[in-house]
Amino acid sequence: MRLSTIVAKDMLRRKRKVLPAALGVAVGIMTVIATLTVAHAGGERLNGQLEKYGPNLSVLPSTGSLDMSLGGLSLGSVTVGDNYISGTVLPRIQEIADGAIRAEMGITEPGLIATVAPRLYVPTVADGVPVTAAGIAPIEERAIRSWWRVSDGRYLESDDELLAGAFAASTLGFRPGEQLTLGSHEFTVVGVLEESGSNDDYLLFAPLGTVQGVFEKEGLVSTVDVRALCTACPVEMIADSLSGSIPGIHAVAVRQIAQAEMAMQERIGRLMMSLAAVTLIVGLFGVANAMSAMVAERTRDIGIMRAVGASRRQIVALFLQEAVVLGFLGGVGGYLAGLVLASVLGPLMFDGMAVAPVVLYLPLALGLAVAISTLAALRPALVASNMRVADALRT
Q: What is the pLDDT of residues 36-76, one digit of tens each?
A: 888 777 777 766 665 555 567 888 887 644 344 444 444 34
Structure-model confidence comparison of residues 140 and 1, the more confident one = 140
Q: In this structure, is residue 43 part of a structural domain? A: yes
CB within 8 Å of 303: residues ≥ 6 apart: 387, 389, 390, 391, 392, 393, 395
Q: In this structure, is residue 308 part of a structural domain? A: yes
Q: Would the pLDDT of 334 be above 90?
A: no
Global pTM reads 0.55
| pLDDT of res. 282 | 73
| pLDDT of res. 8 | 64
Q: Quick one: 263 exposed, middle or buried, by C-beta within 10 A (0-12, 13-18, 19+)?
A: exposed
| pLDDT of res. 10 | 64
Q: In this structure, is residue 244 part of a structural domain? A: no
| pLDDT of res. 2 | 66
Q: In this structure, is residue 189 part of a structural domain? A: no
The total domain count for the chain is: 1
| pLDDT of res. 48 | 61
> Cα–Cα distance between 390 and 361 in angstroms, integer?
47
Q: In this structure, is residue 97 part of a structural domain? A: no
DSSP type of residue 41 = H
> Cα–Cα distance between 342 and 205 in angstroms, integer?
44
Assign 372 a pLDDT band (cuts: 50, 70, 90): confident
The torsion angle over the Cα atoms of residues 352, 356, 357 and 359, rounded to 10 degrees, is -150
Contact between 326 and 14 under an 8 Å Cβ cutoff? The reply is no
207-265 pLDDT per residue, tens: 999 999 999 999 999 999 988 766 556 677 888 888 888 888 888 877 555 555 556 66
Q: In this structure, is residue 221 part of a structural domain? A: no
Q: In this structure, is residue 68 part of a structural domain? A: no
Count of other CB atoms within 10 angstroms of residue 366: 18
Over residues 336-347, the mean pLDDT reads: 86
Q: What percent of the chain has pLDDT over 70?
A: 73
**What is the rounded average pLDDT for all residues in the chain?**
78
Contact between 185 and 210 under an 8 Å Cβ cutoff? The reply is yes
Q: Would the pLDDT of 170 be above 70?
A: yes
| pLDDT of res. 232 | 58
Containing domain of residue 328, as a range? 3-49+261-394
